[in-house]
Amino acid sequence: ELMGKTQTIETIYFGEGKVGSSFLIMGVDPPKLMWSTPLQVTKRAQDYIVKLPGLPAEGSKRLEFFQEYLEDKDEMLARDAYDEFAKSPYAAVKQLKPRMKHDQVIAWIKDVDVPASRRRLYLTMLGVCGTAQDLPLLETMLKSQDRKMKAGLDAMIACYLTLKGESGVTLVEELFLKNKKSEYADTYAAIMALRFHGTEADIVPKKRLLQ
């Protein structure tokens, strides 16, 4: 309705897309629309975009749809799906638990080529759908000297404490808080994980977190 009878628009395009290709163009700042740089999209991306307006505005049902596109072969969809999870409250992510794909989440966490930001999400999801059987893997990663293995350390520590409970704080202290050789970034990651548990969860008693 903002377009009226307009059938043709002009915008700047930097790329090698050929005539007949499909693009996503955003119109912003109505009523006098400004057009974004066209983004060439695949048929799969077109199908994805068309489905978006029919989704719930928020909640686990919305996340269930985007879960299917995490680490999608189409990088645009993978990033968009991640962004949906990143902006969702932790409570909504927890509601997705019955429909989370545990083994797939583990596979993504083990893949050192997955970007750290997305690995943080998968560690957060593992904290929701994981069990005590996942603790040995997490402990191995926490103790690793490989920076790639420890990517997303704050979320890794938070996940570990979620599954281990109060007794897990001892290992976190030994590795990152009492350890004089711990790198500042690792100590800070531990502090952020404890902050997460102090504000978003009730697994570790506040008294122990403060200690």
**175-202 mean pLDDT:** 95
Residue 1, pLDDT above cutoff 90 = no
pLDDT in tens, 118-153: 999 999 999 999 999 999 999 999 999 999 999 999
pLDDT of 57 reads 94
Is-above-0.95 flag for pTM?
no
pLDDT of 4 reads 87
**93-108 mean pLDDT:** 96
Handedness of CA 107, 135, 187, 205 (dihedral sign): positive
Q: Are 109 and 117 in contact (CB under 8 A)?
A: no
pLDDT of 80 reads 96
CA distances from 90 to 34, 124, 137, 190, 199 (A): 34, 9, 23, 19, 11
Which long-range CB contacts under 8 A does 207-210 form with residues at least 24 apart? 208/166, 208/169, 209/169
CA angle 164, 168, 173 (to 5 degrees): 160
pLDDT band at 78 (very low <50, low <70, confident <90, very high): very high
Distance in angstroms (rounded) separating the CA atoms of residues 172 and 166: 11
Chain mean pLDDT for the chain:
94
Distance in angstroms (rounded) separating the CA atoms of residues 139 and 86: 25
Cis peptide before 53 (omega within 30 of 0): no
Question: Quick one: tokens of 9?
Answer: 């628009």
CA distances from 204 to 24, 152, 169, 183 (A): 46, 21, 8, 24
